Structure 1
Amino acid sequence: MVGTIVSPSDIEVYDRDGAVCLRGALDARWVAALEAGFEANLSAPSEKASIFHADGAAFVGLDDAEKRSRYTGRADLSAPRFVGDLDRWRDIPEFRAFLLESPVAEIAGRLMGAKKANLFLQEILFKEAGAETPTPWHQDMPFFPMEGAQT
């Protein structure tokens, strides 16, 4: 099935640009699973979460009761947010199913010309409409313990 989703020209685009748009690669079941996973994650961010509000309030690492209390005690949690969180596939079933049962690993492997794809890190970055917090530029490769063209 993935062979029909990923064409040789898609692989060429991926090799050249580092990304490719594969419209229709995921059926409605997987899109719904991702939506449900995001909703679960946003309603209960982990202790690793970074949350930035449009009003300038920032909460990085809700890893203790005081920080979590200050976050959940805010007057306006409905203000647009920019949220990042890590490795929630371990405790959010929809993320786990998406990563382990959907065709995404096979698609990634085909695009990279790899025989297998390993899950190293799962991160969400979610910026709500109206969130004016700038998205910080960064690059992860210098501190990731891997190298090569298939990363």
Structure 2
Amino acid sequence: MNLKTSVTLAQTDRYRFEIDFGEAIVPLGVDEPPPIGDGEGPAPEQLLAASVGYCLAASLFFALTKYRQDGGGIRASAECTVERNEAGRLRITAIDVELRLAADVATLHQAHLERALTQFENFCTVSESVKSGIPVKVSVSDCSGIPLNPA
């Protein structure tokens, strides 16, 4: 199965662009942060972090519901580390994603939770694709901050 997705970008000012996702979705303005741009929208690094974080959160939700587990809602935070390479160019060198369930681990079926946690990353199209060039570290915890990642 081949699936293609596309967006259209149009420059509106200096480093500002508008991303058109198609008819059913409101366009999104993007911009570089100061001093390069005016910071009037998310920067490319933020969009990548959001894409990886969202895809992992959605994949975790899918895996939990597959095993009839209610995480009570999922919060995700994603952070890109940007460093200069040997040529002095800025590059994303790592992405760290933290996923937190609103549920307490004690309310979940442990065997089903473990199965969901061992599988969910494999369902994430974006993070699994990004991992071929950028390390992606994922942690999952419950509402109290108790780590849930399998050992």
Assess same fold via TM > 0.5. no
**What is the TM-score when the length of structure 1 is the normalising length?**
0.25
TM-score w.r.t. structure 2 length?
0.25
Q: Does 1 or 2 have the higher relative contact order (CA < 8 Å, sep 6+)?
A: 1
The structure richer in strand per residue is: 2
| Higher share in helix | 1
